């Protein structure tokens, strides 16, 4: 009986040993490669090294935006046995509370093996101290990180945009192009438009660590590749000056080289400092930007679609002369008002301007002259003028989310308002009111076309990208005008500034001639919008420009004074 039991026990032990041997054979031979790979993963770490974004320099090669080196503190979650203990050790060194470190850890956690950034922008002295204490702080990593710096601050906000952590939607779209969940991408402006060129390619370190998470040796290194440098047409000095010129006002200023379409300055106000989006200590400032009713994130230079007011009279005069609806000898009497049935449409100058031809009407911005001219053109002719000069369509400037404005017509009136187009609508349309809207960049395009004898270059900011053989080819449109048409329109615009009765006479400067047109557009609420657009010098234009002041009063006053200061500085820089 005892022998039988011993025999049974021996067989059980032998079976167990056999099973153990089969298991070891399976794990070490059959699945050996798999488990060796897992073991390697446990002792090999991949430390990402972000790439520097390409610098952005102005037309003279002076940096506007560049990456500067900073340090950040990160931890590997799987190597931290006691997070609360580590936070207590780190808090006095990095001058953060344990609660702040814990929040940063929770916010940045993705996976046990993925490093979590706890502190950005470490002072170099703190970074070196953490490196010295690394053996006492298992799982920590101090790494150099390139940080974007916008050297002209808020003056660059609308044109450059800002950087932000990639969103899920963006990642879905951009993942095939090498973007990862840790990447910062351009969120607006040139940073967004040229992100594929600016971003560079991240590298990394492959390191072996011991059981305490300390590096034993470096196994591999893939250097990060810096993004490409982009040279833009902006003049940094002019950009800053125009930013200061707008000061606390709402509006936009754009200055362009009319032959090429190169933008020399593009400013929108109020604005924002793109540096704030990369500084965690300025999070409240960012919230204020995003929530403000003043809309500092809104680029008024290319997105504000508002009535163009009397600046549009230049387009109406050109169309009417070209189509023979009026001639250089056509005169209309302005007594301060225009009667249409029982309705009265007033000129802005109550006493009236007297007899006006097209040159005088532009000089004085006479509404009555353009009421009569608008009737001769009709809504279709006025609409054709707007469309020809690029209203209701994008200029294709190399910035995202450009506005297009709106050109009203009788069909729209019937569909949108269930009523026929009235002759009074035509009169308002002819002086840049009614439902007509345009952006500052579109107004600039209109005046550039007049300055350049009908030639309209595509406005653009980027001149060249590092590594490209030549710059991008930009479009040019050509409008055909009879010679006498442009001569008369230009003469009227020149008198706007040079004449003592011109609406833009406050922009007069000895030795710095200019041509232009003022505009005061009713906004429906609050003070009128103020416009002044033109070019200088009149005979050989070197710059074209537009000043737009949202609810800024009168184009011949506030906007004209800004243009005067702007022309003085352009002269100092040698542009005019």
- CATH number for the domain harbouring residue 284: 3.40.710.10
User: Measured between alpha carbons, how far is 505 from 348 in angstroms, rounded to an integer?
Assistant: 17
**Which has more pLDDT, 121 or 432?**
432
The 10 Å CB-count burial string (b at 16+, else e) for 184-207 is: bbbbbbbbbbbbebbbbebebbeb
Q: Do the domain assignments include residue 336?
A: yes
Distance of alpha carbon 266 from alpha carbon 302, whole angstroms:
9
Is the distance from CB of 532 to CB of 503 less than 8 angstroms?
Answer: no
Q: Which residue has the tokens 């808090």?
A: 91
**Measured between alpha carbons, how far is 377 from 383 in angstroms, rounded to an integer?**
9
Using the predicted structure, report yes or no on whether residue 409 has a pLDDT greater than 70. Answer: yes
5 has pLDDT over 80:
no
CB of 141 within 8 A of CB of 76? Answer: yes
Which tokens sit at 436? 């007509």
Contact present, 532 and 515 (Cβ < 8 Å): no
**Size (the chain), residues:** 576
Q: What is the mean pLDDT of residues 261-265?
A: 98
Q: What backbone torsions phi and psi does residue 206 show, to the nearest 5 degrees?
A: -110, 115
Q: What is the pLDDT of residue 39?
A: 47
How far from the centroid of its chain's Cα atoms is residue 282's Cα?
A: 20
Kind of pairing between the strands at 354-356 and 529-536: unpaired
Structural domains in the chain (count): 2
Residue 91 sits in a domain whose CATH number is 3.90.1310.10
CA distances from 525 to 406, 521, 529, 551 (A): 19, 11, 10, 9
Write the pLDDT tens digit of every residue in 209-256.
665 555 567 688 888 899 999 999 999 999 999 999 998 899 999 999
Confidence of residue 316 (pLDDT cuts 50, 70, 90): very high
What stretches of 26-104 adopt beta strand conformation (E)? 44-49, 56-57, 63-75
DSSP 281: G
Residues 238 and 255 sit within 8 Å (Cβ to Cβ): yes
Query: 548 and 566: one domain?
Result: yes
pTM of the model: 0.87
Tokens of 171: 């990642």
Give CA–CA dist 380/409, Å, rounded. Answer: 7
Question: Is residue 29 pLDDT above 80, yes or no?
Answer: no
Choosing from 232, 254, 275, the residue where a domain stops is 232
Peptide bond into 298 cis (omega under 30): no
User: How many angstroms separate the CA atoms of 50 and 52, rounded?
Assistant: 7
Domain presence at residue 451: yes
What is the spatial distance between Cα 265 and Cα 255, in angstroms, rounded to a whole number? 5
Residues 222 and 142 reside in one and the same domain: yes
Check whether residue 224 and residue 274 sit in a common domain: no
- pLDDT-derived band at 32 (thresholds 50, 70, 90) equals low
The verdict on residue 356 lying in a domain is yes
pLDDT level of residue 135 (50, 70, 90 thresholds): confident
User: Cβ-count burial of 126 within 10 angstroms (0-12 exposed, 13-18 middle, 19+ buried)?
Assistant: middle
448 and 562 together in one domain: yes
Q: What is the pLDDT of residue 151?
A: 97
* Co-location of 242 and 219 in the same domain: no
Q: Is 89 exposed, middle or buried (0-12, 13-18, 19+ CB in 10 A)?
A: middle
Digit-coded pLDDT (tens) for 453-474: 999 999 999 999 998 866 668 9
Are 258 and 349 within one domain? yes
Contact, 69 vs 146, CB < 8 A? yes
Tell me the pairing of strands 230-232 and 56-57: parallel
**Tens digit of pLDDT for each residue in 504-530?**
999 999 999 999 999 999 877 778 999
CA 135, CA 115: separation in Å to the nearest integer? 17
Could you give the C-alpha distances from 176 to 129, 163, 167, in angstroms and in order?
A: 40, 20, 15
Query: Are 454 and 541 within one domain?
Result: yes
**Of the ranges 26-30, 140-144, 330-334, which is most confident?**
330-334
**Residue 93 dihedral angles phi and psi, to the nearest 5°:** -75, -45
Residue 20 falls within a domain, yes or no? Answer: no
Closest CA to 313 of 519, 173, 158, 509: 519
Task: State how far the Cα of 332 lies from the Cα of 345, in Å rounded to an integer.
Answer: 15
- Is residue 363's pLDDT more than 50? yes
Which of 215, 232, 249 terminates a domain? The answer is 232
Query: What is the reported pLDDT for 418?
Result: 94
Contacts 24+ apart (CB under 8 A), 324-330: 325/373, 325/376, 325/377, 325/381, 326/358, 326/373, 326/376, 328/357, 328/358, 328/359, 328/484, 328/488, 329/357, 330/357, 330/358
Q: Are residues 203 and 352 in the same domain?
A: no
Same domain, residue pair 185 and 324: no
- Both structure tokens of 192: 């967004």
DSSP state, residue 266: E
d(CA 340, CA 332): 15
Mean pLDDT over residues 387-412, rounded? 97
pLDDT at position 12 is: 66
Is residue 570 scored above 80 in pLDDT?
yes
Parallel/antiparallel/unpaired status of strands 354-356 and 163-165: unpaired
Q: What are phi and psi of 202, to 5 degrees?
A: -70, 150
* Residue 290: inside a domain: yes
Asked if 133 and 65 touch (Cβ cutoff 8 Å), the reply is no
Domain match, 190 and 271 both: no
Q: Kindly state whether residue 16 falls inside one of the protein's structural domains.
A: no
Domain end, chosen from 210, 232, 254, is at 232
DSSP string, 158-221: HHH--EEEPPHHHHHHHGGGT--TT-EEE-SHHHHHTHHHHS-B-EEEEEEE-TTS-EEEEEEE
pLDDT band at 8 (very low <50, low <70, confident <90, very high): low
Same domain, 433 and 392: yes
Could you tell me if 321 and 191 lie in one domain? Answer: no
Beta-strand ranges (E) seen in 380-511 are 455-457, 462-465, 476-478
Residue 545 structural domain: 236-573
Residue 2 falls inside a structural domain: no
pLDDT band at 181 (very low <50, low <70, confident <90, very high): confident
Kindly report the number of other CB atoms within 10 A of residue 91's CB atom: 15
Q: Which residue has the higher pLDDT, 34 or 411?
A: 411
Given this model, what pLDDT does residue 210 score?
65
């Amino acid at each position: 009986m005892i022998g039988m039991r011993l025999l049974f026990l021996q067989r059980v032990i032998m079976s167990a040993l056999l099973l153990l041997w089969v298991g070891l054979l399976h794990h070490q031979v059959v699945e050996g490669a798999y488990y060796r790979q897992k073991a390697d993963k446990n002792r090999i770490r991949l430390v990402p090294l972000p790439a520097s974004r390409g610098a952005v320099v102005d037309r003279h090669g002076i940096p506007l935006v560049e990456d500067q080196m900073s340090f950040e503190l990160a931890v590997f979650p799987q190597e931290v046995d006691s997070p609360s203990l580590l936070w207590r050790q780190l808090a006095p060194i990095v001058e953060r509370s344990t609660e702040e470190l814990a929040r940063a850890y929770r916010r940045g956690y993705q996976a046990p093996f993925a490093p979590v950034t706890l502190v950005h922008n470490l002072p170099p002295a703190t970074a070196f101290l953490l490196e010295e204490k690394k053996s006492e702080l298992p799982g920590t990593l101090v790494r150099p990180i390139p940080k974007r710096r916008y050297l002209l601050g808020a003056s660059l906000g609308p044109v450059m945009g800002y950087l932000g952590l990639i969103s899920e939607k963006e990642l879905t779209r951009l993942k095939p192009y090498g973007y990862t969940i840790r990447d910062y991408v351009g969120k607006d402006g040139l940073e967004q438009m040229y992100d594929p060129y600016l971003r560079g390619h991240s590298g990394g370190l492959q390191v072996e660590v011991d059981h305490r998470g300390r590096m034993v040796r470096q196994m591999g290194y893939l250097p990060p590749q810096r993004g490409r440098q982009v040279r833009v047409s902006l003049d940094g000095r002019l950009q800053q000056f125009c930013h200061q010129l707008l000061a606390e006002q709402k509006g936009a200023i754009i200055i362009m080289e009319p032959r090429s379409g190169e933008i020399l300055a593009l400013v929108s106000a109020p604005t924002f400092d793109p540096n704030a989006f990369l500084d965690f200590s300025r999070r409240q400032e960012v919230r204020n930007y995003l929530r403000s009713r003043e809309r500092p994130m809104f680029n008024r230079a290319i997105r504000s679609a508002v009535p163009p007011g009397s600046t549009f009279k230049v387009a109406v005069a050109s169309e009417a002369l070209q189509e023979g609806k009026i001639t250089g000898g056509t005169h209309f009497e302005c007594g301060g008002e225009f009667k249409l049935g029982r309705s009265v449409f007033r000129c802005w100058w109550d006493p009236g301007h007297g007899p006006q031809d097209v040159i005088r009407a532009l000089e004085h911005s006479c509404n009555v002259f353009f009421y009569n001219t608008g009737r001769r053109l009709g809504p279709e002719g006025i609409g054709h003028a707007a469309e020809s000069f690029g209203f209701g369509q994008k200029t294709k400037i190399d910035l995202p989310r450009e506005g297009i404005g709106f050109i009203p017509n009788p069909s729209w009136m019937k569909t949108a308002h269930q009523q026929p187009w009235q002759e009074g609508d035509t009169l308002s349309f002819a002086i840049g009111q009614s439902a007509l809207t345009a952006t500052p960049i579109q107004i600039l395009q209109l005046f550039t076309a007049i300055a350049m004898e009908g030639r309209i270059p595509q406005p653009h900011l980027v001149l060249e990208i590092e590594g490209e053989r030549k710059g991008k080819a930009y479009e040019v449109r050509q409008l055909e005008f009879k010679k006498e048409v442009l001569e008369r329109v230009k003469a009227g615009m020149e008198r706007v500034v040079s004449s003592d009765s011109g609406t833009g006479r406050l922009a007069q400067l000895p030795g710095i001639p200019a041509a232009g047109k003022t505009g005061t557009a009713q906004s429906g609420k609050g003070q009128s919008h103020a416009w002044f657009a033109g070019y200088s010098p009149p005979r050989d234009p070197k710059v074209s420009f537009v000043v737009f002041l949202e609810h800024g009063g009168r184009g011949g006053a506030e906007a004209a004074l800004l243009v005067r200061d702007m022309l003085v500085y352009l002269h100092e820089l040698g542009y005019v």
